[in-house]
Amino acid sequence: MSDVRTRFDLQPDQIPTAWFNIMPDIVKAGMEPLPPLSPQTKEPIGPDDLAPLFPMSLIGQEVSTDEWVDVPGEVIDAYRAWRPSPLSRATRLEQSLQTPAHIYYKYEGGSPAGSHKPNTAVAQAYFNKEAGIRRIATETGAGQWGSAMALACQMFGLECDVYMVKASYDQKPYRRVFMETFGAGVVASPSDKTNSGRAIREAHPDSTGSLGIAISEAVEDAATHEDTNYALGSVLGHVLLHQTVIGLEAQQQMAMAGEQPDVVVGCVGGGSNYAGISYPFMAGKLRGETPDMRFLATEPAACPTLTKGRFAYDYGDTSRLGPIVPMYTLGHDFVPAPVHAGGLRYHGDSPSLSLLVKHGHMDAVAYTQNEIFEAGLLFAKTQGVLPAPEANHAVKGAIDEAIAAREAGEERVILFNLCGHGHFDMQAYDDYLAGSLPDFEFDAADEEAALANLPEVSIPV
């Protein structure tokens, strides 16, 4: 038996009791967060503008300047079903790579929905229930967020309707059944239930959908029904805030391991799981306590927002219903190729994460589908855990770091977030094993066309 410790478990009473808000540190470090703008007036919006979509408690968190926000007791009770989540050292992967690096991973796939998404879903369901809301309308890319929201609504007694990106609806029928099992209604997006969906279907009858389109449908549904609110699984400040339970636990667990990460790696769709693991560590960097710690965001080559997008004000959704926000974007009209990592097919990124990349505090890298499945398969074979296609981007980033450490002869400490399992993604693994997975390349002409439609705003970025 090896005497190298590979599991770092926390006790149930070590679930964080407050979420960590990075915004005060961002401001103190000299970065200037820009306000969201109204899609109608293009002027900065206030809390009241968001009231048709979200409860005031969540809007308050969205604009909070407090460093800590208390987690309600009911939410901690819900967290107990899967938190604290384990942190493990991937020694078998290290051995197979012949690397002196230490690779640690935080595993969020053990939640009831199979990913990090319930960390915010239960919080959002709780605050909506508190505000007297009856029903939630939301979208889902890979099906992970919809599953989390269906589960959370069931836990807190809310109805739930999910607009599921058509590419994923067709690729992952069992994700739909999972959501329906928890009582949610699920339609393929673009659907004929909303004006936004009908307009897209008319213009593009073969549309495979996108997160931008599905968001438009869910926002329209919520805005046109008094008893219904909207819930978003990524991008917004309060979503990232709730996910910081991941990094706060990981800090305690890395302390148990007696190590500090040299680099923190994660995949980015809208930024929530990566912000979740990285922001508590990022605070140390911004405060000058750990100036050399590096941060690596990974994304698909088919939707390379951080590596090939433009930092600009853009609409968060295709039909221009939601706020205009400052972020890295490929344009709100951009429909990414149907890669299996459906949760990473979003044209933009969270504003705070975009700001950190823009100011050089975070690096970003993009990988093709075949690269990430090769990495995911090696991880599955060595560690026995089969990652979601989204998570495979983080696995690839960690493996490349470990190889670079080997080549440099350095004992680097790598921490990455394994944000979800891939048990509903076997078709994707099957395609990879059969050698028939297309490597969608990013089309610069598409980018040019989509970026041409950025809104004209008077605030410079």
Ligand X SMILES: Cc1ncc(COP(=O)(O)O)c(C=O)c1O
From 390, 442, 369, 416, select the one nearest 107 (Cα to Cα): 416
- CB 69 within 8 Å of CB 19: yes
For residues 144 and 251, which CB has a smaller minimum distance to ligand X in the complex?
144
94 or 323: CB nearest ligand X? 323
Among 136, 150, 213, 267, binds ligand X (CB under 6 A): 267
Nearer to ligand X, 121 or 450 (CB): 121
Nearer to ligand X, 49 or 299 (CB): 299
Restricting to residues 142-161, which ones interact with ligand X according to CB under 6 A? 142, 144-145
The answer for residues whose C-beta is within 8 angstroms of residue 237's C-beta and 6 or more apart is: 23, 61, 62, 63, 64, 350, 351, 352
Nearby residues of 443 by Cβ (< 8 Å), 6 or more positions away:
none
Cα–Cα dist 174/424, whole Å: 7
Binding of ligand X by 269 (CB under 6 A): yes
Q: Closest CB to ligand X among 200 and 419?
A: 419
273 near ligand X, judged by CB under 6 A = yes
212 lies in the site for ligand X, by CB under 6 A: no
Q: First CA to last CA across the chain, in angstroms?
A: 56
CA pair distance 46, 459, nearest whole angstrom? 16
Question: What is the dihedral sign for C-alpha 346, 347, 351, 352?
Answer: positive
Beta pairing partners, 312: 327
Round the CA-based radius of gyration of the chain to a whole number and report it.
Answer: 20
Residue 304: CB atoms within 10 A of its CB come to 20
In the bound state with ligand X, the residue whose beta carbon lies nearer, of 16 and 387, is 387
Query: In the complex, what is the shortest distance from the CB of residue 215 to ligand X, in angstroms, rounded to a whole number?
Result: 12
Contact pick of 85, 111, 115, 298 for ligand X (by CB under 6 A): 115
Report if residue 268 touches ligand X, rule: CB under 6 A: yes
How near is the Cβ of 31 to ligand X at its closest, in Å? 20
- The DSSP output letter for 35 is P
Q: Which is nearer to ligand X, 150 or 267 (CB)?
A: 267
Q: How far is the CB of 377 from ligand X (least distance, A)?
A: 17
# of chain residues touching ligand X (CB under 6 A): 22
Contact pattern from residue 384 through residue 423 relative to ligand X, giving x for each residue in contact according to CB under 6 A and a dash for the rest: ----x-xx---------------------------xx---
Q: Which of residues 2-21 bind ligand X (CB under 6 A)?
A: none
**Which of 58, 59, 33, 57 lies closest to 46 in space, CA to CA?**
59
Task: Select from 122-130, 140-148, 193-201, 443-451 the region that touches ligand X (CB under 6 A).
Answer: 140-148
Rounded CA-CA distance 450/220 in Å is 22
Interacting residues with ligand X between 304 and 343 (CB under 6 A): 343
The secondary structure of 109-135 as a DSSP string is TTSTTSBSTHHHHHHHHHHHHHTT--E
Residues 219-258 that bind ligand X (CB under 6 A): 233-234
Nearer to ligand X, 23 or 277 (CB): 277
Q: Which chain residues interact with ligand X by CB under 6 A?
A: 115, 141-142, 144-145, 233-234, 267-274, 343-344, 388, 390-391, 419-420
